A = this chain, B = another copy of it.
Amino acid sequence: MRFTTTDTSPDGVVERDFTVGDVPGVLWSPPTPSDRAPLVLMAHGGGQHKRAPGILGRARRFAADCGFHVAALDAPGHGDRPRTAADEQHVAALRRAQAAGEPIGPVVVGLHLDLAARAVPEWRATLDALRDVTGGPVGFWGIMQGTGIGVPLVAAEPRIAAAVFGCLGHETLTDAAARITVPVEFLLQWDDELVARQSGLALFDAFASKEKTLHANAGGHADVPRFEVDSAVRFFTRHLGGALPPPA
């Protein structure tokens, strides 16, 4: 692991670019991290990257308000990483489905399988590399494509103690979900135009976790309410430790 640049935001959050092998990532850390500060792995959505607005906002919030470290990677074929011919084909198929107003579930199955096969080892190598920097418990946050990668990752990686998933269905993920026993918070958009409701409910049902909570909100695929960020903060604070922020 190699840290390349370091920046400090006005709220004191330290932001470091790094590479693990040839995978670029970002680590956000609180101004004065505790020895056992939790680490949250944050996986971006399809077509996005490690510094997409949704990642950046949550990462800074988690670091500044809760004292968490947060790590994000560019997924294979995303952000600063080259696209393979297979990546290009997946993207083209996805765009065709979206343009035709078709459900993306069947199309993302192959894409997510391919991405997860490459991304899971990358995330595990990142966890190995970060062990010297962040010594605390580990959580995972990723919705949509982040769930397509995250469910196989959390199923395979015993160091991850709690996970937020959502906005994706059960296609190909049922078996991995059934191996997950850590606490899960699962987001579902009740009127999702891209993910069938029953498919999302089936994925939630598949988790073997004794503690799992489904948060289903009225609205479409992109309408996840802002208060779900607060909920994720409380979920990780319950399960990983750390301090709850003062009420906004």
B211 touches A213 (CB 8 A): no
Which A positions have Cβ atoms within 8 angstroms of B? Answer: 190, 201, 204-205, 209-218, 225, 227, 230-231, 234, 238, 243-248
Name 16 A/B residue pairs within 8 A (Cβ), A-sorted: A190-B204, A190-B205, A190-B214, A211-B218, A212-B217, A212-B218, A213-B215, A213-B217, A213-B225, A214-B214, A214-B216, A214-B217, A230-B234, A244-B248, A246-B246, A247-B247
A215 touches B218 (CB 8 A): no
| Top 9 closest pairs, chain A to chain B, by CB | A244-B247, A214-B216, A212-B218, A213-B217, A215-B215, A211-B218, A213-B215, A210-B218, A246-B246
Residue of B nearest to A186 (CB): B216
With A214-B215, A218-B210 as contacts: A243 and B234 at CB distance below 8 Å: no
Residue of B nearest to A233 (CB): B247
**Shortest distance from the beta carbon of A68 to any chain B beta carbon, whole Å:** 15
Chain B residues with Cβ below 8 Å from A244 are 247-248
Residue of B nearest to A212 (CB): B218
* Residue among B190, B210, B247 making CB contact with A243, cutoff 8 Å: B247
A216 to B217, CA, bound (A): 11
Chain B residues with Cβ below 8 Å from A213 are 215-218, 225
